[in-house]
Structure 1
Amino acid sequence: MGTSTPLIELRDVTKTYGTGRLAFQALKGVNLRIEQGDFVAIMGPSGSGKSTAMNTLGCLDRPTTGEYLFKGAHVENLSRDERALLRRKYLGFVFQGFHLLPRTSAQENVELPLLYRGEPAAQRHAAARKALAAVGLDGWEHHGPSELSGGQQQRVAIARAIVTEPLVLLADEPTGNLDTQRSNEIMELLWRLNVDRGITVLMVTHEPDMAAYSRRIVRFKDGRMDSDEPNPAPLMPGCQGGAAQPEVR
């Protein structure tokens, strides 16, 4: 993976839940390097440790033992508040469930991370409109989630994740609730954010067709990394029945 300092590095990371006879070790000595601008698909069966690894990478959980370095800083030594600040500054999250506020417009949903930062209203409005345009939802700012399709709702969720201009986008089964066409459109959008903006994408998925868009595929099994292989021919926009400029539905 090269000799330069990676953006993210896990060194012999373990994670244990519970104590004594009820203890369960979800991660068992994981080592992982992620370079800035990478696009990594994390795969594995249920219970393999991939979701725990994603929670650790997203600073939502702390390793039991081992080291987690982000831009060379030791995340495992940070307090809860310091990890929250790191998330706000550098990380964006997209989930299988879109997690949009139901009685709130697309623009207001996208503005939420900026509201938490205390940014002025005019700045929030402009940034949210820009993020929505970037995901193909220009003109849909005032529509609520009930007026949007599943694919559009996920686009709003992605806009919310990128409105803070994060270094890393963590996507947990981002196409799990979508049909094949909408799934490919979302993957093409993630591909473009990675290639055009240089956003590092870390994506948990069960679907090989979606992992095919990534640059690397990391597989977990029984709490360990089972393999870490480059994808020699990542899918590009226009492949697998998708369109280079996806139709908004």
Structure 2
Amino acid sequence: MSTAHAEDLPLIRLRGLTKVYGQGQAAFQALKGVDLDIEAGDFVAIMGPSGSGKSTVMNTLGCLDTPTGGEYLFHGLHVERLGRDQRARLRRRYLGFVFQGFNLLARTSAQENVELPLLYRGEPAAARHRAARAALASVGLAGWEHHTPAELSGGQQQRVAIARAIVTQPEVLLADEPTGNLDTQRSHEIMELLWRLNEEQGITVLMVTHEPDMARYARRIVHFVDGCIDSDTRNPEPGPQARHAAPVQEAG
């Protein structure tokens, strides 16, 4: 997936991105001309108060929503010009998703949950089984393949969800409040796992969070306020040592 000069561009580029919900007097401008570059291999925490636009920009980056105006380039391809089916193919091929609520099938084993994206792709059973076991092992759940979500802790369920997100070997992992339902210890374990996937496998991680302690793991912290980027800063000490770093102050 490339266009001319794509090699000169960052992995993701947003230019003048806008999003308006509703019409007339009821119209709400969720994004007001966002410019943002994300290089391959980065780990970006997106923060901001409720209604700041952080979830809207995440949904746009994940091809779950379309902008009203502006440009969204992925590998130099104009995503804003794609149709629904083309966006779905891009999503399946390049993107993985982790949500706050885990979204696992309750009566289905960990391995079967992880296999789902490969099933949708039409992968043969043997390849699905092999890839799912490898993904579970990579998140520390070797030996837990046949347990259902009810037999797993919250932290383990989120690990299954992460394994499901990475089983397709995506370039970008989009995590929406991935520690929102976890206690502090489990939250740090999940953040260390996301850091390791970024550091060791080179997966670009984009994470929405309202928790400053979790944002400290990211290499870069982007604050949204009122549909605009208020600040975009590099974290001098990202990663597991973030547990002991000075707090990140939430904007707004």
The interval holding the TM-score normalised by the smaller chain is: over 0.9
Question: Offset of 1:4 from its aligned partner?
Answer: 3.7
1:52 corresponding residue in structure 2 = 56
Percent identity for Structure 1 against Structure 2: 78
Q: Does 2:132 correspond to 1:128? A: yes
TM-superposed CA distance for 1:221, in Å, is: 0.2
Q: Following the alignment from structure 1 to structure 2, what is the Cα–Cα distance between the partners of residues 43 and 83?
A: 25
The one-letter code of the counterpart of 1:196 is E
Match of 2:115 in 1: 111
Query: Are 1:230 and 2:234 an aligned pair?
Result: yes
Q: How many residue pairs were aligned? A: 238
Matched, 1:207 2:211: yes
* 2:243 match: secondary structure: coil
* Off by >2 Å, runs of 4+ in structure 1: none
TM-score normalised over the length of structure 2: 0.93
In structure 2, what is the Cα distance between the partners aligned to 1:196 and 1:188? 12
* Per-residue deviation, residues 38-80 of structure 1 (Å, max 9, x unmatched): 0000000000000000000001011100000000000000000
In 2, Cα distance between the equivalents of 1:39 and 1:235?
Answer: 10
Q: Is 1:240 equivalent to 2:236 in the alignment? A: no
Please tell me whether residue 220 in structure 1 is matched to residue 224 in structure 2.
Answer: yes
Which residue, 91, 95, 99 being the options, matches 2:95?
Answer: 91
Q: Describe the SS at the equivalent of 1:32.
A: strand
Consecutive unaligned residues in structure 2, runs of 5 or more: 1-6, 245-252
1:130-181: CA deviation from partner (whole Å, max 9, x where unpaired): 0000000000000000000000000000000000000000000000000000
TM-score where L is the length of structure 1: 0.94
Shift of 1:240: 2.6
Q: Structure 2 CA distance, aligned partners of 1:83 and 1:145?
A: 30
> Paired residue for 1:190?
194
Q: Secondary structure at the match of 2:67?
A: coil
